[in-house]
Amino acid sequence: MKYVKLPEDKQHKLPFYLAMEEYLAEHCGEDLLFTWQVEPTVIFGRNQVMLAEVNVDYCEHHHIQYYRRKSGGGCVYADKGNIMTSYITPKVTSDVAFNDLLKKLAEVLRKLGLDAVKTEHNDILIGARKVSGNALFQKEKASIVHGTLMYDVDIQTLMEAITPPKQKLEKHGIESVRQRVVNLKELGLKLSVEELRSHIAKSLCDGEKVLTDDDVHEIEKIEQGYYAPEFLRAK
């Protein structure tokens, strides 16, 4: 597996990285991985109703961006305390794609002293608490598995920015929902977020693939589709 790098070490908005996944899926003949971070952002799934999942008033008041992705699954919040992972593979069977990444990622965490396990729902838990959630987007030539890895996420903002389904609140309550997730930093991980990103890359990859300025230009073309109002508010 190769670790993908951009020609410039520059932070982009979330849709750029989703577009980067799509671009690589169309041009990759091998397993690829990259990690990234964003400013506070809510990302909701392909089939979700935006106004039912995103606290739009709160997000706009607190300058939190929100976007729709093309994979399924639930609504998530990311900030600079969250490591986003993107895995692109020619393997087009979803179970194989999920297992390939998440079992290896859980093993990386176990070697750092954390009792991490992959679940049948394609989460990673430490104890009974979730540190990573993941979703899959199937392209014609490849599968994209992308997810979160909670290092030091602002959980209070997470709870405010996302509107949990009524059934989940009735079943678990706000405090119970909060207790079901945990940051790696809370669990005593000594690595910084930058060190953890580097450690993941070195542990899972055996080389690098550096994109060109021309690649970035093509990615930016795909990126524009994520900003279209008809896509954002499709449901």
Q: Render each residue's pLDDT in the chain as its tens digit; 235 residues.
A: 999 999 998 999 999 999 999 999 999 789 999 999 999 999 999 999 999 999 999 999 999 999 999 998 889 999 999 999 999 999 767 788 888 899 999 999 999 999 999 998 899 999 989 999 999 998 888 999 999 999 999 999 998 999 865 545 455 555 555 678 999 999 999 999 999 999 999 999 999 999 999 999 999 999 999 999 999 887 6
- Those residues whose C-beta lies under 8 Å from the C-beta of residue 154, and which sit 6 or more positions away, are 40, 79, 81
> What is the per-residue pLDDT across 82-138, written as a single tens digit (0 to 9) for each?
999 999 999 767 788 888 899 999 999 999 999 999 998 899 999 989 999 999 998
168 touches 102 (CB < 8 A): no
| pTM metric for this prediction | 0.92
Fold of 2-227: BirA Bifunctional Protein; domain 2 (3.30.930)
Residue 16's closest CA among 31, 36, 44, 42? Answer: 36
**Which distant-in-sequence residues (6+ apart) come within 8 Å of 117 by Cβ?**
106, 124, 125, 126
Instruction: Identify the three-state secondary structure at position 218.
Output: helix
Q: Name the nearest CA neighbour of 124 among 157, 159, 150.
A: 150
Tokens of 10: 């520059």
What's the rounded Cα separation, in Å, for the pair 33 and 35? 7
Distance from chain centroid for Cα 74: 11
Average pLDDT of the chain, as a whole number: 91
| pLDDT reported for residue 177 | 58
* 34 backbone dihedrals φ, ψ, rounded to 5°: -145, 155
Q: Distance between CA atoms of 218 and 48, rounded to whole angstroms? A: 28
Spatial contact of 83 and 58, defined as CB atoms under 8 Å apart: no
Task: Specify the pLDDT at position 169.
Answer: 47
Taking the C-alpha atoms of residue 178 and residue 43, their distance in angstroms, rounded to an integer, is 18
Q: In this predicted structure, what is the pLDDT of residue 235?
A: 63
How far, in Å, CA of 46 to CA of 44, rounded?
7
Residue whose C-alpha is closest to residue 136's, from 86, 72, 76: 72
